């Protein structure tokens, strides 16, 4: 008898695909109902797109949802972060510490304030800022620590807040990936001095092109109002009882003009949709968490693959699990590259699997060479800042992001059969890694 040639197992080698069923609407987001449509249409019919009456209701509801005193709506998350930096006193010649792996909007506005960004390392198991890589970066002009709850994972806030209080620094939480997520039971965005976040159409709380900031600090709130909400400077809000008496004389004299020269208000088609989306968010988020936890439970113990989620019973959660990632450990798979692993998963029928996340920012030319103010010098050093620029090799974990992380399906509904089929695609490739190499 002639030996039969071994049939390939993996689809990338011509074997059968793990995933053949149509995914249906399991990935569709946001969930838009008639109520969203009616809310937006009402704004259009009233011609109320540019006002603030609906936005103020949304702000009040958002602040209540987060258990915060103040919320301020923005045209996008990028601007909420710029305003937060300015409100926290970041100015020309200052420094802000920020993780290198994040979306650029977490820190790029610092340059427009004449400040430098001192990039910190991330942890390979959380993909969030490494609290041990913060303190030695603090200099005489450091004003702000920016933390990002990256891909939904809550940053380790306790040591970060301790360092910040010791050195009298402000902490801004970029919550753009983690609306509704919790750290040891506390909602993300409520532990730093300001929480600022995107609410754009791709995020887990998606209301259009919008952003919002929250704080318990009236002074920071008023500074944000003065910076880009010029028509509200010095005015009491009808919706926040606690800010009825807002009259900060130092800022009030600027009323009518935005101190930053920015126009920051939210389009009210977004705030109208936001009011509707917020009503359902906790329930929809809980379903996402059930689905994503189901996916990871199915992959428990598979070599090379590690869940990107806090330990069970830690009271820390992943919020809406935005930009969901898995952790990759090539050494458990005989050195198979993350890139090749992902290509094999795509061949199994899930096209959304790719290596990495956001590319590290500390090596980007904007933070080395860009001269925003035409001063004949890179902005990172043109206002007398220390030169904190860092080249390749300085933050090895951040620089290895394409080898340690990959995208996974972001399920919006907890449907066991389809989730199981997706988990099977990842499991199959990991268990047959030798066939890929």
Ligand X SMILES: *Cc1c(COP(=O)(O)O)cnc(C)c1O
Beta bridge partners of 12: none
> Which range of residues in 82-90, 169-177, 302-310, 395-403 is near ligand X by CB under 6 A?
169-177
- Rounded to a whole number of angstroms, the minimum distance from the CB of residue 347 to ligand X is 29
Give the CB-nearest residue to ligand X. Answer: 77
Residue 356 · residue 341 · CB < 8 Å: no
- Rounded to a whole number of angstroms, the minimum distance from the CB of residue 266 to ligand X is 11
Query: Can you tell me whether residue 44 is helix, strand or coil?
Result: helix
Does the bond joining 30 to the residue before it have cis omega, within 30 degrees of 0? yes
Give 233: exposed, middle or buried? Use CB within 10 Å, 0-12, 13-18, 19+: buried
d(CA 350, CA 366): 34
Residue from 52, 55, 100, 102 touching ligand X (CB under 6 A): that is 102
Q: Is 103 in the site for ligand X (CB under 6 A)?
A: yes
Q: Closer CB to ligand X, residue 102 or residue 126?
A: 102
Residue from 55, 100, 118, 176 touching ligand X (CB under 6 A): that is 176
Residue from 78, 100, 268, 379 touching ligand X (CB under 6 A): that is 78
Q: For 176, which DSSP code? A: T
- Rounded to a whole number of angstroms, the minimum distance from the CB of residue 429 to ligand X is 28
CB count within 10 Å of CB 264 equals 24
Q: Residues 270, 271, 276, 282: is their CA dihedral positive or negative?
A: positive
- Rounded to a whole number of angstroms, the minimum distance from the CB of residue 104 to ligand X is 8
d(CA 83, CA 220): 10
Q: Is 108 in the site for ligand X (CB under 6 A)?
A: no
Q: Is 54 in the site for ligand X (CB under 6 A)?
A: no
Query: Could you give the string, one character per residue 200-239, with x where binding to ligand X holds by CB under 6 A and - elsewhere?
Result: x----------x----------------------------
Q: Is 188 in the site for ligand X (CB under 6 A)?
A: no
Q: Closer CB to ligand X, residue 197 or residue 388?
A: 197
Q: Residue count at the site for ligand X (CB under 6 A)?
A: 15
Q: Is 77 in the site for ligand X (CB under 6 A)?
A: yes
Q: Is 105 in the site for ligand X (CB under 6 A)?
A: yes
Q: Residues 415, 420, 425, 429: is their CA dihedral positive or negative?
A: positive
Q: Is 326 in the site for ligand X (CB under 6 A)?
A: no
d(CA 145, CA 164): 7
Q: Closer CB to ligand X, residue 281 or residue 383?
A: 281
- Rounded to a whole number of angstroms, the minimum distance from the CB of residue 196 to ligand X is 8
Q: Is 379 in the site for ligand X (CB under 6 A)?
A: no
Q: Closer CB to ligand X, residue 78 or residue 379?
A: 78
Beta bridge partners of 307: 326
> Which range of residues in 18-26, 31-39, 171-179, 409-417 is near ligand X by CB under 6 A?
171-179
Query: Can you tell me whether residue 206 is helix, strand or coil?
Result: coil
> Which range of residues in 15-23, 33-41, 98-106, 364-372 is near ligand X by CB under 6 A?
98-106
Beta bridge partners of 170: 144
Q: Is 271 in the site for ligand X (CB under 6 A)?
A: no
Residue 249 · residue 59 · CB < 8 Å: no
- Rounded to a whole number of angstroms, the minimum distance from the CB of residue 343 to ligand X is 26
Residue from 55, 76, 190, 363 touching ligand X (CB under 6 A): that is 76
Q: Is 174 in the site for ligand X (CB under 6 A)?
A: yes
- Rounded to a whole number of angstroms, the minimum distance from the CB of residue 333 to ligand X is 29
Place of tokens 């011609």: 47
- Rounded to a whole number of angstroms, the minimum distance from the CB of residue 207 to ligand X is 10
Q: For 102, which DSSP code? A: S
Beta bridge partners of 95: 116, 142
Q: How far is CA 309 from the centre of its chain?
A: 15
Q: Distance of CA 2 to CAs 5, 336, 414, Å?
A: 9, 32, 48
CA-wise closest residue to 322 among 152, 103, 182, 104: 152
Residue 51 · residue 436 · CB < 8 Å: no
- Rounded to a whole number of angstroms, the minimum distance from the CB of residue 169 to ligand X is 20
Binding site for ligand X (CB under 6 A): 76-78, 81, 102-103, 105-106, 148, 174, 176-177, 198, 200, 211
């Amino acid at each position: 008898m002639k030996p039969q040639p071994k049939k390939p197992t993996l689809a990338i080698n011509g074997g059968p695909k793990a995933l053949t069923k149509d995914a249906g609407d399991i990935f569709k987001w946001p969930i838009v109902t008639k109520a969203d449509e009616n809310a937006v249409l009402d704004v259009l019919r009233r011609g109320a797109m540019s006002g603030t009456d609906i936005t103020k209701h949304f702000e009040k509801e958002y602040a209540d949802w987060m258990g915060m005193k103040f919320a301020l709506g923005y045209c996008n998350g990028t601007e909420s972060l710029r305003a937060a930096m300015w409100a926290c006193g970041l100015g020309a010649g200052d420094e802000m510490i920020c993780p290198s792996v994040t979306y650029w909007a977490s820190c790029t506005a610092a340059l427009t304030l004449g400040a430098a960004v001192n990039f910190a390392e991330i942890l390979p198991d959380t993909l969030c800022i490494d609290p041990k890589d913060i303190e030695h970066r603090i200099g005489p002009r450091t004003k702000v620590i920016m933390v990002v709850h990256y891909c939904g994972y809550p940053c380790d806030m306790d040591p970060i807040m301790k360092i910040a209080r010791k050195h009298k620094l402000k902490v801004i939480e970029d919550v753009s990936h983690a609306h509704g997520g919790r750290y040891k039971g506390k909602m993300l965005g409520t532990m730093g001095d300001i929480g600022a976040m995107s609410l754009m159409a791709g995020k887990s709380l998606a209301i259009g092109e919008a952003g919002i900031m929250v704080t318990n600090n009236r002074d920071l709130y008023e500074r944000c109002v003065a910076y880009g909400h010029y028509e509200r400077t010095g005015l009491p809000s009808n919706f926040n009882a606690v800010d009825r008496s807002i009259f900060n004389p130092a800022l009030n004299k600027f009323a009518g003009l935005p101190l930053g020269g920015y126009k920051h208000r939210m389009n009210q088609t977004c705030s109208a949709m936001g009011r509707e989306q917020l009503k359902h968010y906790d329930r929809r988020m809980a379903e996402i968490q059930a689905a994503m936890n189901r996916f990871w439970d199915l992959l428990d113990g598979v070599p090379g693959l590690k869940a990107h989620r806090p330990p069970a019973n830690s009271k820390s959660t992943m919020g809406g699990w935005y930009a969901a990632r898995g952790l990759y450990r090539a050494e458990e798979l005989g050195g198979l590259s993350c890139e090749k692993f992902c290509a094999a998963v795509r061949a199994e029928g899930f096209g959304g699997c790719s290596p990495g996340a956001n590319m590290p920012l500390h090596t980007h030319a904007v933070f080395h060479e860009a001269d925003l103010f035409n001063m004949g010098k890179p902005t990172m050093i043109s206002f007398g800042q220390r030169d904190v620029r860092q080249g390749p090799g300085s933050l090895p974990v951040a620089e290895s992001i394409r080898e340690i992380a990959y995208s996974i399906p972001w399920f919006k509904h907890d449907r066991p059969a389809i989730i199981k089929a997706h988990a099977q695609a990842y499991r199959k490739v990991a268990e047959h890694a030798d066939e890929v190499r």
